[in-house]
Amino acid sequence: MPSVAVKLYSVFFKFLLKHRLQNRIQTPLDESNPFGVTSRPEESVAAPNPSFADGVATKDIHIDSFTSLSIRIFLPESALNPPEPKPIDSKPRPRSNSKNVEPEQTEKLSFRRNSYGSFNVGADTKREESRRSSYGSDMDALNLRSDVYRGYAPVDSNRRKLPVILQFHGGGWVSGSNDSVANDYFCRRISRLCDVIVVAVGYRLAPENRYPAAFDDGLKVLNWLGKQANLAECSKSMGSGRGGGGGGVSVESKKGDGNRHIVDAFGASMVEPWLAAHGDPSRCVLLGVSCGANIADYVARKAVEAGRLLDPVKVVAQVLMYPFFIGSVPTHSEIKLANSYFYDKAMCMLAWKLFLPEEEFSLDHPVANPLIEGRGPPLKFMPPTLTVVAEHDWMRDRAIAYSEELRKVNVDAPVLEYKDAVHEFATLDMLLKTPQAQACAEDIAIWQKSDEFPNKCDVFCLS
């Protein structure tokens, strides 16, 4: 069972949340304003730090002039390491058998109550023994500092490419933010352990902006990643065209001249330098927390439908952490654990009423129930999906059932269920530093690193 401290904090948390939800239901709002809000006044916010002070550099970007949509980029210090040489044998590394778990990992994995599906642990998932902890004499070469911007600025000689994780925070549609203290801590942890660039999405909150605002924002960020990759490629082509010698005009030069006007028209500042230098959009993973998992699953489905139209962005996997699923026909856990910790069923019903428009309110809405008939695209085209659930979460069974449906059509969809855990046990502010929260993040990193995430677009894309 959860500790006494967790139980007491849950009572206090539910009292405040119920009061806030009821106030928002009773307060008339102007829902015609598309700009919206992405953070509440009561939310503790962490300032961005672009200088690798704790191993991860962060920056905030507002990417839509018509709404409040913003992102926070988390760049791990490992991006400064020299690019790894490409192996001669380019065949994908086979997944290792789960029996080859290191003793240290076995101890950490004991926090997991059960696992379903084909969760395999790679044999080479030990942490790097050495990590760059100081810049030394080459600080100026790695960080171009000026009076205007005192953060990390990549240079041409430092181009290690990392996967990109799009992260969607939780909060029951009506609270939470991508730059909150809790979400900032969680994303830094994921960025370090998974060795990835995390892009935390600050989507619009309800009831100021109801469905489909948050889902549109998630898809908009995915398309923004594609535009960034294309702009970076144009900028690179333009730069390569400036070189060369001799009297003739090279092919690269012509290509650069042809693309120069595109970059100049948008302006060089439109190209996000961290993503251009270190982001690999062909290895994009979606990670959603609670209601953010609903957004991640929606974005994954839209990516499947778009297929190669999203090139060079390819969604190769998704991680659903205690998804905010519900349905009109209750599951066993929805009956037995209806009054569970932090987010009970009655509280979540209020959140759904605030999120879905009145004319569309249904517990079997496609964004609420993943098991309804006719919810496209066919599940066999979905990317590999890791689902994290908690033993004392009333939404647990529906998430497990969704994973089972994915496995029936041969989608890699393991489930990790953590014993004595509650909803948001790995992301809630007071629980972030518990052993279970740390073990969960490490399990996600093990799964993410268990494959090289090759280009699987031809496997699960419709086009």
* Alpha helix (H) residue ranges in 1-43: 4-26
Q: Which of 423, 443, 450, 451 is catalytic?
A: 423
Model confidence band, residue 125 (pLDDT cutoffs 50, 70, 90): very low
Whether pLDDT at 463 is above 50? no
Q: Where are the alpha helices (DSSP H) in 195-290?
A: 213-241, 251-266, 273-278
Rg of the chain, C-alpha, whole Å: 22
Residue 393 annotated as catalytic: yes
- Percent helix, strand, coil in the chain (nearest 5)? 40, 15, 45
pLDDT score at 283: 96
Instruction: List pLDDT tens digits, range 131-183.
Output: 333 333 333 333 444 445 678 888 766 678 999 999 999 999 999 999 999 99
Please report which confidence band the pLDDT of residue 81 belongs to, taking 50, 70 and 90 as the band edges.
confident
Inform me whether the pLDDT recorded for 402 exceeds 80.
Answer: yes
Contact (CB, 8 A) for 397 and 334: yes
290 is catalytic: yes
pLDDT of residue 148: 53
Residue 179 near residue 298, CB atoms below 8 Å: no
When pLDDT is averaged across residues 23-37 and rounded to a whole number, the result is 75
In percent, the amount of the chain with pLDDT more than 90 equals 56
Summary mean pLDDT of the chain: 81
Distance from C-alpha of 64 to C-alpha of 33, rounded to nearest angstrom: 14
Higher local confidence (pLDDT), 259 or 35: 35
State the catalytic residue, choosing from 175, 177, 180, 290.
Answer: 290
pLDDT at residue number 384: 97
**Active-site residue, from 216, 297, 344, 393:** 393
Residues found in the chain: 463
Compute, in degrees rounded to 10, the torsion defined by CA atoms 363, 321, 210, 383: -90
Active-site residue, 147 included = no
Work out the pLDDT band at 85, boundaries 50, 70, 90: low
- Tell me what pLDDT residue 235 has: 74
CB contact at 8 A, 121 and 450: yes
Helices (H), ranges, 329-395? 332-336, 345-355
Q: Which residue has the higher pLDDT, 26 or 147?
A: 26
Q: What is the pLDDT of residue 33?
A: 72
Judging by DSSP bridges, how do beta strands 197-202 and 70-76 pair with one another?
antiparallel
